[in-house]
Structure 1
Amino acid sequence: MTGCLQPVGAIAKRGAMTLAATLSVMTLGTVGMSAANAAGTIAGTDILNTAQASYDGPGGPVVIDSNTVTITVDELLDVTVASADPGDIAVDSGATQQVTTYQVTNTGNGNEAFTLTADTAKGGDDFDTSNAVIYLDTDDNGVFDPGVDTIYSPGSNDPVLAPDASVNVFILSDIPVSATDGQRAEVELSAVAITGSGTPGTSFAGQGDGGGDAVVGSTGADGEASSFFLIQAAQVALVKSATVTDQFGGNQPVPGATITYQLVATITGSGSLTNLNITDDIPTDTTYTAESITLEGANLTDSDADADAGSFDGSEIAVSLGTVPGGQTRTITFQVTID
C-alpha cells in the first residue's frame, strides 16, 4: 500500500478544513500543497495572479499592480482498481475462504474516501463463489493475514486515501462443491468515491478539499477490477493385475509359484495430487519376496529409513509417490510366493 489508511467513521471531510483536520489528512500520505500528482495540482491549492501596468511618468517609470485574482483548485474525483493476482488462482471444489487480491488507488487530486463492494455473481463465468468478505490490508504487506487484516464494514472503515495513495484489499469467498475441473469464476471488486461519482464533469458544489467543488474525473470516480478462480482438480484410478509363474515353467498358481502384482495409478484432471501414497497388503497364504518392489521399472528397497520411495513393514508394501500432476501414470510391481 502506498500511503496510509484511515477509517472514515462519522467524519465529514467536506467544507473548509481546520488546522486539526489538515494535520489529520496529512497522515494519509506525504502531500505538499504545491506538489503535483497523477491528477495534477492538489485540491485546495490557491492559484494567485496579479497583473502590472507600467509607464514613464514625469519623475521616471511608474508600475501599478492590478487586483490579485485567486482561483482555488477544485477536487478531481478519480479512482482505479487493479487485480494484484498474477493470473487465475488454482483452487479445488469445496475450498473455503479463498483469497483474491486487489489494489485501490486514488488517482484524484484530493483526499477521498471510497466505498468497496464485492461482486461474485458476474455473468459469463462458469460458477459463482459465495460468502464473500472484504478485508483491508492492515499491515501493508500485500498478503492476507488471518487475525491481522481488518474486515471491511461499509460506512464504518471506508478507506481514506491521499492523492496517488493505494490500499491493498482482499476478498475471501468459498468455492462450491459442484464446481468441476477447468471451470472459472470471476470475483470483482469495485471502489466508488463517497463524495460522488457519475458522468465525468459532474460537479458537487462546495464538497471538494479546501472548500472548492468536487468534479468527477475520467474514471467516473468508480473503478473496478476482477480476479479469477480456476478449478484444477485431479483424481486417481488404481488398477491391479497379477501374473503367475510356476516353478515348472508354466503359469499355474501352485504352492511355490511366484505372483507378480502390478499396480497402475492413473492421475486425471488439470490439477495435481499431493502426497500420493500406494499401499498393498501381502495376501494370506503367501510370502513377500524381499526387495521385489519396483517403481517405473526401477528397484526400490524395503527399508523405510532410506531415501527411496518404497518400504515393506512385514505385512504390506508402500510406495510414496509425492505430488503427481494430472495426465501422468505411476506403475508399481512386487512379488510374493504362494505358500
Structure 2
Amino acid sequence: MKQKRIQIAATSLAFATALTATPALADGTASGTLIQNTATATYSSGSTTETVQSNTVVVKVDQLLNVATTALSNTPAAATTTAATVLTYQVTNTGNGADTFHLTADPNVTGNGFNGTIQSVVVDTNGNGVYDPGVDSVITNGAASPAIAADGSLKVFVLVNLPANFSDTQTSQVRLTAASVTGTGTPGSVFAGKGTGGVDAVVGASTAQANALESLIAALASVSLTKSATIADPFGGNTPVPGAIVTYTLVAHTTGTGTADSVHVTDGIPAATTYQPGTLTLNGAPLSDATDSDAGIAGASGIDVSLGNIAAGAADKTVTFKVKIN
C-alpha cells in the first residue's frame, strides 16, 4: 500500500498586515477591517505531488466601544465671583472605531464644601488646549461631542460659577462623564449593526463610559475699611473748634486667599466743614484733586480714590485728606 504524506500550510492576511508600519489602535485592529485567511494542503501520492486550497474565510472586525476621561489639573482651580472657573478635561476614544460621546458635567459630588453651577460645557474647537471664548464650541450639558477617531482625544472645558453661599478656601469637585452615544453597558454587550460601517458594536472593558473629577477652591478676598481722625486746632492743640483742621485717615485691609477687584474708597465731606484742596494722598503720595490720570478725585462733595485690584494679604492701602471746621 502506498503511503501518503500530507503537509498543510496557512497564510494569514492579518499576520502580513501586522508586519507593516501601520500603528496599532488602542483596542487593536480597526473596526471594519477584513481579516482573510486561506489554507493550503500539499500532499504526495506515489510520484505525484498535489496542492489544493481551502475556501477563504473572511472575518470583519466589530467595533469595540471604549473611552477614557482624564482630569488635566493637578491642583484645584481658583474660583472667584468675578468670572466662571474653567476646568479642563480630556476625553480619549480608546475604542477601535470613530465614536461620539455624551458629555455630562455634574457639580453635585459627595464631600463638596459647596456645589457650583455649571455655566457651560465647551469643546476645544481649535485644538489649542486653551479655552477661547467665542471660538470654542459651547454644547448643551449632556449633549454629544463631535466624532472622535479611534485613539483620538478631545479637550473639554467646563465653566463653573460659584453659588450664593460659600466660604473662602472651601473646595469642590465637578465630575465630567463621557458616555458612548452608540451605547453603554456591561462589557461584552452587543449593539447589532450599530458600529461603524454597519458592523456590530461591542461594549469594552470601560463599559463605554468613563468619568474624571476636577477640583476648584474658593479664592476670595474681604476688604475692611477703618476710618480715624486727628485734629489740629489754631492754638496748637487738638480741640475741634472752628478753624481746626481735621485729617481723616482711611485704611483698606484685605484678607482671604483671592483678590479684591476694582476697589474704590469714597468719602463725603462732612457738613459744617470745607475740603482743603491738595490734601488728598494715597499711601503718603499726593494725588491731584482733578479728574486725570492719577487714582484720586476730590472736591467740595467728597473724595474718590481707586485702589485697583488688591490681592489678599497685600500691604494696606491708606488714603488721607483734610477738612477745616467752618
Band the TM-score falls in, shorter-chain normalisation: 0.7 to 0.9
Alignment CA distance shift 1:150-1:209 (3 Å): same
Decide which of 272, 281, 296 is 1:310's aligned counterpart: 296
Deviation at 1:56, TM superposition (A): 8.6
Decide which of 248, 251, 260 is 1:261's aligned counterpart: 248
TM-score under structure 1 length normalisation: 0.73
* Secondary structure of 2:306 counterpart: strand
Aligned equivalent of 2:28: 40
Q: Deviations over 1:178-206 (max 9, x none)?
A: 12222223221211223343444555565
Pick which of 126-135 and 136-145 moved more. 136-145
Decide which of 121, 126, 130 is 2:108's aligned counterpart: 121
Aligned equivalent of 2:325: 338
CA distance in 2, matches of 1:299, 1:244: 20
| Correspondence list, 1:1-339, <5 A | 36-52=24-40, 64-83=52-71, 87-92=75-80, 100-130=87-117, 134=121, 143=131, 145=133, 149-152=137-140, 159-171=146-158, 174-204=161-191, 207-210=194-197, 212-306=199-293, 308-328=294-314, 329-339=316-326
Q: Deviations over 1:188-226 (max 9, x none)?
A: 121122334344455556554355543333323111122
TM-score under structure 2 length normalisation: 0.75
Please say if residues 89 and 156 of structure 2, whose CA atoms lie closer than 8 Å, have aligned partners that are also in contact: yes
Aligned equivalent of 2:8: none
CA distance in 1, matches of 2:23, 2:277: 80
Alignment CA distance shift 1:338-1:205 (3 Å): closer
Pick which of 322-331 and 225-234 moved more. 225-234
Query: Unaligned regions of 5+ residues in structure 1, if any?
Result: 1-33
Deviation at 1:147, TM superposition (A): 10
* Secondary structure of 2:289 counterpart: coil
Q: Deviations over 1:127-169 (max 9, x none)?
A: 2234666455667675364698354386x85643321334444
CA distance in 1, matches of 2:145, 2:280: 62
Alignment CA distance shift 1:263-1:121 (3 Å): same
Aligned equivalent of 2:10: none
CA distance in 2, matches of 1:150, 1:287: 56
CA distance in 1, matches of 2:303, 2:141: 55
Pick which of 273-282 and 140-149 moved more. 140-149
Task: Indicate the percent of aligned positions where both proteins have the same amino acid.
Answer: 43
CA distance in 1, matches of 2:301, 2:242: 20
Please say if residues 101 and 144 of structure 2, whose CA atoms lie closer than 8 Å, have aligned partners that are also in contact: no
Please say if residues 123 and 136 of structure 2, whose CA atoms lie closer than 8 Å, have aligned partners that are also in contact: no
Amino acid at match of 1:71: V
Alignment CA distance shift 1:326-1:41 (3 Å): same
Deviation at 1:239, TM superposition (A): 1.3
Measured on the aligned residues, the alpha-carbon RMSD in Å equals 3.6
Alignment CA distance shift 1:210-1:290 (3 Å): closer
CA distance in 2, matches of 1:149, 1:248: 72
Please say if residues 118 and 132 of structure 1, whose CA atoms lie closer than 8 Å, have aligned partners that are also in contact: no
Deviation at 1:338, TM superposition (A): 2.9
Aligned equivalent of 1:7: none
Q: Deviations over 1:247-287 (max 9, x none)?
A: 33322223333222111112222222211111222333333
Please say if residues 35 and 42 of structure 1, whose CA atoms lie closer than 8 Å, have aligned partners that are also in contact: no
Alignment CA distance shift 1:150-1:239 (3 Å): closer
Alignment CA distance shift 1:288-1:177 (3 Å): same
Amino acid at match of 1:48: Q
Please say if residues 245 and 325 of structure 2, whose CA atoms lie closer than 8 Å, have aligned partners that are also in contact: yes
* Secondary structure of 1:124 counterpart: coil
- Figure out how many residues of one structure are paired with residues of the other and give that number: 303
Q: Which structure's relative contact order is higher, taking Cα pairs within 8 Å and 6+ residues apart?
A: 1
Amino acid at match of 1:330: K
